[in-house]
Structure 1
Amino acid sequence: MIAFLGLGRMGVPMARRLAAAGHEVTAWNRTAKEVPGVRMAATAAEAAADADLVVTMLRDPAAVREVLAAARPRAGALVVEMSTIGPEAVARLRASLPGDVGLVDAPVLGSVGPAADGTLLVLAGGAPADLDRCREVLRVFGTVREAGPLGAGAAMKLAVMSAVVPAQVLLAETLAYAAAQGVDRAALLDVLSATPLGGLAERLRPAVLDGPPPARYALGLAAKDLTLAAHDTQTLAAAARDRLEAAVAEGLGDADLTAVIPSVAASRPSRPVRLNPSSVPAPAGAYSHAVRSGGLLFVSGQAALDEHGEVVGEGDITRQAECVFDYLERILADQGCTLDDVVNIRSHLTDMADLPGYADVRRRRITGPPPSSTTVEVPRLFRPGLLIEVDVVAALPAPVRPGGR
């Protein structure tokens, strides 16, 4: 039996293909969905309870870690991680899973159409014995390329996206330049079609002439992928990521990646990017959860409020501190950071008698060299029942280029 965790744009057609191929599939999603031939479970743990294979197709490393912790795959099961989370996250995932649970990383190249048609390119990494267990299942999705040991598939996926996504941003900027010079867009695409960029130019032609299509590869996911792929050598990819983050701030995160074309055409000089990840409850007031500026990420004070604005763990400093650090980790993960990237942390307590309980949680969550820190006692916070609020500043993983970002 196969458990499929995550029914987003890609997950739905992939789960449907497994069922159509004759596999018994039980799926779970944060929001209820129906997929023909697939049994839906109320929780991730229910979906994974009897599964030999547990497939994850989720948004980012934090979501994968959280969902698999809740799913608790049984002894002897094999987790097939098909999200785009990067090799470092795969290594952390391996360390968090029990030793008797196998793991293969198998991200895919292709969008919603190939997912439905079974023509994805699956980039698989893992031990030979684990790959043997899932090879036939992976072939349901398309062509399987075995990239090497665990983490190799995730690394290959990010390497490919580090070329493909910036190339699309480059063409968006080229089209904006051409428009400023009075060059006809269709004529420009004709000329580009005779160059090494010809294939991409033709692929983008409908979006250029008719406007972006329904989302196949969401612009926000492309920005996330470039964030995960950040490396000292990748100045072009970092610039492309900044373009995409600006488009996300305009509200284009769920639009198709080709929406970057009109976004660039209407762009203004680079400004700070305001961020409100969907992985945490919406801001409780007139502020953004985080602001990205230059090489730094400024995260607003996080408090223990649930999605309904209710206090979590009223009177319990440990529960509130754990909730606050959960939110901080998710916001940092949205930008490719972890608590290890925090350079400054500022904590506000309504009672210093709670400091030992808070400090215990903080020591468990921040395990590396500690950041600079300020801790103060305040008479009250913005919502009755809150005991603590914490804000942080983190260094972003991508390099700062000469002359600014």
Structure 2
Amino acid sequence: MKIGFCGLGRMGMPMVRRLLQAGHQVSVWNRTPGPAQQLAAEGALVCDTPQALGQSCSLVALCLFDAAAVESVVFGPAGLASADGLTLLVDHSSIPPADTRQFSERLQQANGATWLDAPVSGGTGGAAAGTLAVMVGGPADACLTITPALMAYAQRVTHMGPVGAGQVTKLCNQTIVTTTIAALAEAVSLARDAGVDAARLPQALAGGWADSTLLPLFVPRMLQPDTPVHASLDTMLKDMDTVAALARQQGTAMPVAATVGQGLRLASRKGLGAGDASGLIRLYDHISEHSTNS
């Protein structure tokens, strides 16, 4: 397929590489040219603007940081909405469901294109391995059309309902992931303070009720002094703020998620935000140090 892709960050780069490896013709645009030029050397075509990308590709995927970035790329000067050739936009970004629904209506009015919200889960490792989970909101027939292309970097594509349903599903995902990471940080801290080798927790708990995909991934990261950034703590905070906003709007009680969100905010205030989400363990180090010193 001929596919356009905007947003070549930690997730976007390996996703485009998977598309290229699958034999698709991929055109790319990125706000900073470096990543696009790197992919050009691997077979991608580089476009100067999102509009130019949309003129040459009827199908365009986005993988951007937040709603402001999505709005700018789609509706800003030389944006995708001004491209007559665009017919289907697939947004892999994690943004509020209400913004997704509004953007979908605006794009439909601008050039008649269909919007699919299709956030992903699985991290950079999943993107590189082609094992992402994609949760899709929008017309079912459009989801069916795009699924063969998405399978270049996904192991599963699930249609969740109308526009916005994919984003709600991602918020459920982030609620589970983030609260689990916080629980792992507390468990690692508890083991260390008791003099138990926390590095053996994944082995000891494997197969039990505490086992999870995250257990063997995050415990080693929490015990390493300099963990490479797979997903930043501030990205988790952004998503948990969106969870909190949706919960308030709906009247959904989420006491655990609210507490974890405040922990993320405290960690960010302590300068940990740009680091990997596993750095939440440093928050407990600070608490332990303060308790010891006092």
Matched, 1:119 2:131: yes
Give the TM-score taking structure 2 as reference length. Answer: 0.83
- Residue 255 of structure 2 corresponds to 235
- Residue 117 of structure 2 corresponds to 105
- Residue 41 of structure 1 corresponds to 47
Percent identity, please: 33
Distance in structure 1 (CA, Å) of the matches to 2:209 and 2:157: 27
Matched, 1:152 2:165: yes
- Residue 274 of structure 2 corresponds to 254
Q: Per the alignment, in what secondary structure is the counterpart of residue 83 of structure 1?
A: coil
Give CA-to-partner distance per residue, 1:251-299, whole Å, 9 cap, x none.
3223211111123221489xxxxxxxxxxxxxxxxxxxxxxxxxxxxxx
Matched, 1:202 2:225: no
Matched, 1:82 2:88: no
Matched, 1:60 2:60: no
Distance in structure 1 (CA, Å) of the matches to 2:215 and 2:145: 40
Higher relative contact order (CA 8 A, sep 6+): 2
CA contact (8 A) 1:112 1:216 kept: yes
Offset at 1:170?
A: 1.7
- Residue 8 of structure 2 corresponds to 7
Structure 2 spans left out of the alignment, 5+ residues: 290-294
Of Structure 1 and Structure 2, the greater strand share is in 1
- Residue 17 of structure 1 corresponds to 18
Q: Out of 127-136 and 206-215, give the one that drifted further.
A: 206-215
Q: Per the alignment, in what secondary structure is the counterpart of residue 69 of structure 2?
A: helix
Match of 1:162 among 152, 156, 175: 175
Give the TM-score taking structure 1 as reference length. Answer: 0.62
Distance in structure 2 (CA, Å) of the matches to 1:25 and 1:266: 46
Matched, 1:91 2:92: no
Give CA-to-partner distance per residue, 1:4-48, whole Å, 9 cap, x none.
110000001111221222222211111112212112222222222
CA contact (8 A) 2:199 2:220 kept: no
- Residue 28 of structure 1 corresponds to 29
Q: How many residue pairs end up in the alignment?
A: 269
Matched, 1:244 2:239: no
AA of the residue aligned to 1:64: V
**Bigger Cα Rg:** 1
Change (3 A) 1:189 1:2: closer
Distance in structure 1 (CA, Å) of the matches to 2:75 and 2:210: 43
Distance in structure 1 (CA, Å) of the matches to 2:161 and 2:226: 36
Match of 2:80 among 50, 69, 72: 72
AA of the residue aligned to 1:166: T
Match of 1:219 among 228, 233, 236: 233
Change (3 A) 1:194 1:95: same
Q: Per the alignment, in what secondary structure is the counterpart of residue 266 of structure 1?
A: helix
Instruction: Show the 5 A alignment for 1:168-187.
Output: 168-186=181-199
Distance in structure 2 (CA, Å) of the matches to 1:144 and 1:188: 32
Of Structure 1 and Structure 2, the greater helix share is in 2
Q: Per the alignment, in what secondary structure is the counterpart of residue 245 of structure 1?
A: helix
Give CA-to-partner distance per residue, 1:310-366, whole Å, 9 cap, x none.
xxxxxxxxxxxxxxxxxxxxxxxxxxxxxxxxxxxxxxxxxxxxxxxxxxxxxxxxx
Matched, 1:136 2:148: yes
